[in-house]
Amino acid sequence: MTTVEQLQESAPIGHDLSACDREPIHLSGAIQPHGLLLIVDAATLRTVAGAGDLEARLAPDWLDRPIAELIGQDIAALLRSADMGPGGTLRLAPVAGTEGPLEASLHRSGDMLIVELEPQPEPVRPAIEVLVGLERAAATFERAADLVQLCERAAVAFRQLTGFDRVMLYRFLDDGAGVVLAEDRAPGLDSFLNHHFPASDIPRQARALYVRNRVRVIPDAHYTPAPIRPESANQGGIDLSDVALRSVSPIHLQYLRNMGVEASASISIVRDGVLWGLVACHHDSPRRMDPELRAAARALASGLARQIRAQEEAESYRERLRLHAGEDLVTARLGGEQPIRVQLAQCGKELAELLDADGFALVCGDTVSREGHCPDDADLLRLAEWVDGQGGGLVVSRELSTLFPPAEGYAGVGSGLLGMPIDGTECMALWFRMEEVERVNWAGNPHKAVEVEPGAVLTPRASFESWSQIVRGRARRWTLEEVKAAHRLRGVLHDLRQRVRLRELNGQLSAANREQELLLRQKDVLMHEVNHRVQNSLQLVSAFLGMQARAVGDADLTSHLTEAQARLSAVALVHRRLYRDDQVEAVELSRYLDELMTDMRASLGADWGSALRVYLAPVLVPTGRAVDIGLITTELVINATKYAYPGTTGPITVMLEQHRANLRLIVEDQGRGKSGAGEGFGSRMMKALVGRLGGELAFEDNAPGLRVILTAPIEESGR
């Protein structure tokens, strides 16, 4: 085999074979002649067309006969029990042919049923033997260490199963071309291992059929197609997508003959509904695959697809672990007090290693910082400006010069780029991968994939000699996991910027809080001084009233001054409690009244002090209402001492209780009861206070004595 080297830039390989892509290969109108085909009207179950040597191998009068008579099976009953939909295949019992038993299968195509008939192999391979072989192959697949070893073992297993001279594991690449990952072949055959095949070798519609019909066999590349007859029955084109006997494109037959292949089989490797690759089988002489062997190949390919998925997911998992470890390392370095651009510049080495890059650059405005192999500063500034104009998302390329032509000048260090704008900043993070000059071995010159002359018939390429191409301007591919890691890093940097901004705002807020606290402390000092002076003033006034009461010689005036002193004490006590407890909005009424009664015991003397009893339930009331209630309580107690027991002392009881949203203050004695109209200053004051509380005052007979009940809302009205 000769080798030709061509130095060139990366370019799409092969011609756009639109004629091949448009060829309706599923409507070929013919079958391969080693089998027979019967086309049946689904409504009448009578044959309307057929293909192959039906007269000699099945029945001379096959046309327009009931299908049940031709194959000796009740198709209607089978269809009712199987409920076969479009694309389904139903295995039938063997059919007696004139030259021996025929394997039979049934498909549905629109309003037609299609029956395939193939000669039954001799001897029939025991099912247990096939099953044991499949289990042995599956076990070897599970023990494969990586994808390459899995494909190597699969090539051996499929060759043992099918008996073909050469079996290749062929994987499709992103551009539609394919590469042979593994091969098992008979001695003396040339190798296609690691060779690439252009996308034009397998047109798009052929790939679609590979997904639908997983095994396609060509027992003899020199066959003459057997057309569907009568020709009028195929005017609209009968869809043969699910038919194993379907005749293939004559271009493909010539392709096989150009390769020196006499028989071939293609077994699809479908991963998650997508054609991942093929098991391509070649033989240097005609060779068939019976339906049982095709079913076994499909099962083995399904098992292989599952193991391929497991290997790829395991590799992806290992890569994710590596990337997450790198992200943790970078994140640990970030989050300091310095600006983000400074922190990123300090982590250049770790950021380059994170995405397995050869270099990392950070461009912030006109400032550039670099780590590893990167273009010059001027080139970086132009590149950052271009990346910024691409919509604000990640820019990922392994062939940067195809997107940004100026990058051709520094392809050696920057063929691969992953560019990422950092949100909220003028910075651009750029990862670079160096050019990797790649030698691609092709099975034939891909630039001569077809031979097209004006008016000539389209023909496949004739040469499959090894042809080498040196590809430049291309770097290692950025994996999906690496791109995801870049997105995660972008999110981390966004959060970091938010945290830095939050830290700045917290600093400003802390400064404002410190200033506010200073003002509050100054206010507290001022309020403390004011409270102290008010308290002193109240005490001074109370002392003056006491001194005046003792100095005056008039008994009535002394009594009035004593009452005024008691009222002032009620107000002063509330102020003292507020000043002491730092509570300005509410007062615990029971504690306030208890202290008020203690002060009154002292001012009334020992006799009245022992006669005054207090029973108070805890009730929290607004401060202003506490003052009013304290004044009312003081007035009621003073009245009891003045009028209940003339000239002597007796028991006086003060009670406080809560009932739902109201409070009840009760002052009772056991004296002579209510006397007089009560129109003095004290009575007028109590009436005004009760009205301000929104309550009511009731006088009841205590038998003996008087029971006065104040009922008022605990809260102010409207709160």
Contacts of 312 (CB under 8 A, 6+ apart): 147
Longest dimension (CA), the chain: 154
pLDDT in tens, 272-316: 889 999 999 999 999 999 888 999 999 999 999 999 999 999 988
Q: Residue 391 above 60 pLDDT?
A: yes
Looking at the predicted structure, is the pLDDT value of residue 571 above 70? no
pLDDT for 580 equals 58
pLDDT over threshold 80, residue 457:
no
- CB of 283 closer than 8 Å to CB of 262: yes
Task: Return the structure tokens found at 90.
Answer: 């139903």
- The answer, yes or no, to whether residue 255 has pLDDT greater than 60, is yes
Question: Structure tokens of 566?
Answer: 């008691």
Alpha carbon distance 179, 193 (integer Å): 8
Tokens of 420: 């990422």
Q: Is the pLDDT of residue 458 over 50?
A: no
pLDDT at 530 over 60: no
**Distance in angstroms (rounded) separating the CA atoms of residues 450 and 19:** 11
Q: Cα(479)–Cα(473) distance, rounded to whole angstroms?
A: 18
Q: Which of 339, 327, 33, 13 is nearest to 179 (CA)?
A: 13
**Rounded (10°) CA dihedral 6, 7, 10, 14:** -20
587 within 8 A of 578, measured Cβ to Cβ: yes
d(CA 192, CA 182): 9
| DSSP one-letter code for 177 | -
The lowest-confidence range among 109-113, 450-454, 567-571 is 450-454
- Where are the alpha helices (H) located in 222-376, listed in sequence order? 250-259, 291-333, 340-346, 348-354
Planar angle of CA 606, 611, 617, nearest 5 degrees: 120
Identify the band that residue 9 occupies on the pLDDT scale cut at 50, 70 and 90.
very low
> What does the pLDDT look like over 643-670, one tens digit per residue?
899 889 999 999 999 988 999 999 999 9
d(CA 169, CA 156): 10
Residue 218 reports pLDDT greater than 90: yes
Q: How far apart are CA 137 and CA 150, in angstroms?
A: 11
Tell me the per-residue pLDDT of 693-718, one tens digit each, with 9 for 90 and over: 999 999 999 999 999 999 999 988 75
Handedness of CA 185, 188, 189, 194 (dihedral sign): positive
Average pLDDT, integer, range 74-84? 81
245 — phi, psi (to 5°)? -85, -5
How deeply is 364 buried, as exposed, middle or buried, from its count of CB atoms within 10 A (0-12, 13-18, 19+)?
buried
For the segment 595-635, what is each residue's pLDDT rounded down to a tens digit?
Answer: 888 888 887 888 888 999 999 999 999 888 888 898 899 88
Residues 148-187: pLDDT tens digits?
Answer: 999 999 999 999 999 999 999 999 887 788 889 999 999 9
Amino acid (1-letter code) at residue 711? T
Q: Are 564 and 635 in contact (CB under 8 A)?
A: no
User: Which of residues 106 and 232 earns the better pLDDT score?
Assistant: 106
* CB of 375 closer than 8 Å to CB of 413: yes
**Radius of gyration of the chain from Cα atoms?**
51
Please report the pLDDT score of residue 612 as a whole number: 93
Residue 190: Cβ within 10 Å count: 14
Between CA 439 and CA 418 the distance in angstroms is: 24
Encode burial over 380-404: b for 16+ CB neighbours within 10 A, e otherwise.
bbbbbebbeeeeeebbbbbbbbbeb
Cis peptide preceding 230, ω within 30 of 0: yes
Backbone angles phi, psi at 215, to 5 degrees: -130, 125
pLDDT exceeds 70 at position 455: no
- Mean of the per-residue pLDDT values for the chain? 82
CA atoms within 13 A on the CB side of 100: 8
Q: What is the pLDDT of residues 418-451, one digit of tens each?
A: 999 987 778 899 999 998 876 555 555 555 544 4
Cα–Cα distance for residue pair 192/165, rounded to 1 Å: 13
pLDDT for 452 equals 43
Q: What is the pTM of this model?
A: 0.62
